[in-house]
Structure 1
């Protein structure tokens, strides 16, 4: 997926923004905690919530790559 791809339409959050937060995470053992941190920093999934599952999948994929 390209860095500029919009993942959260409500807040205009890109894949690259999510990727940056995940890459900076120290505690990667809890996907839900990582999601909470991504949400706090980017405000993704705070509008309609329709992107929640997509963001969780992205986080899981990025953590798996580590």
Structure 2
């Protein structure tokens, strides 16, 4: 059986943490901006670090597993 947990967690976090799509930390005018569709190098680095940290927590520390049975 295939373990779909890492795939699901990675896709969801990628969608949620894409800079400028839903939220941007730090924003151009404020610390947090919502849905502005603009990014900066700093926000890309912050979101990449958050993505890496959350992937490590969810996949390594908690160990999320999802199995599809047929």
Using structure 1 for the length normalisation, give the TM-score: 0.38
Kindly indicate which of the two structures has a greater share of residues assigned to helix.
1
Looking at both structures, which has the greater relative contact order when contacts are Cα pairs under 8 Å and sequence separation is at least 6? 2
TM-score (norm: length of structure 2): 0.36
